[in-house]
Structure formats: structure tokens, C-alpha cells
Amino acid sequence: KYVRRICNMEPVSFAQPEESVAVGAALQCAMKERKEQVEEVVLTDVCPFTLGTSVIRDNGSFEIPGVYLPIIERNTVIPVSRKQIVYTAHDNQKYVDVNILQGECRIADNNILLG
């Protein structure tokens, strides 16, 4: 229904959803058991969306609030570890709110707040 709504056309699919899930589960089991038949199969999990946080950008003349700072780019193989150094917006700042966002827009409010 989602694909139909987004693309405004009927999707064509020859795969049966239940069969696809069963084949995927069977492949995962075979890989965990290190079966010889699936030695060359490589399955990776990826982060489907960019994850980041909202920051205040200082361009030298004025501050721009609500800028999205990507930290983990979409399609990054997981598990993954990233470090990003950010600083407080003002001297002697007492606390910092860190919002974890998911999305692709460079405007933080246009992304999904995860926590």
C-alpha cells in the first residue's frame, strides 16, 4: 500500500512475502551453523537512515539554530561506532540537550526525533 501511494502506481512483485521471509530466515540459520552451502553468502545489516543531532551553527556573524549534524550516514554497515566533537553554544553553559534525530534533511526540525 505504501509503495502504491508513494509511486502512484500498482507495484509489480513476483516474490511471495512469506516465502521471502522464510528464505531469509533459512539463510541466517545456515550462516550461523556455518553450513558449507552458504560459505560465499554475505549478509550485512545497515543503518537505513542517517542518524544525527541538532546543533547551533556559528557562521562568524550570527548563530543558526536547528542545523542537523549527521553522525552516522544512511547505509552504513552496523554495528558501527562514531565520535563527533561538539561544543557548548555559550561560555559557562550549565547543561546541553542532545536530541537524537533520524532523517536526511539538513534542517533538524524536518527529521524524526528518536530521543
Q: What is the pLDDT of residue 103?
A: 94
Long-range Cβ contact pairs of 72-77 (< 8 A, separation 24 or more): 72/47, 73/47, 74/46, 74/47, 74/48, 74/49, 74/50, 74/104, 75/46, 75/47, 75/48, 76/46, 76/47, 77/44, 77/45, 77/46
What does the pLDDT profile of the chain (115 residues) look like in tens digits? 877 787 788 877 777 888 888 988 888 888 888 888 777 777 778 888 999 999 988 888 888 889 999 999 999 998 899 998 988 888 899 998 899 999 999 999 999 999 9
Q: What is the pLDDT of residue 4?
A: 79
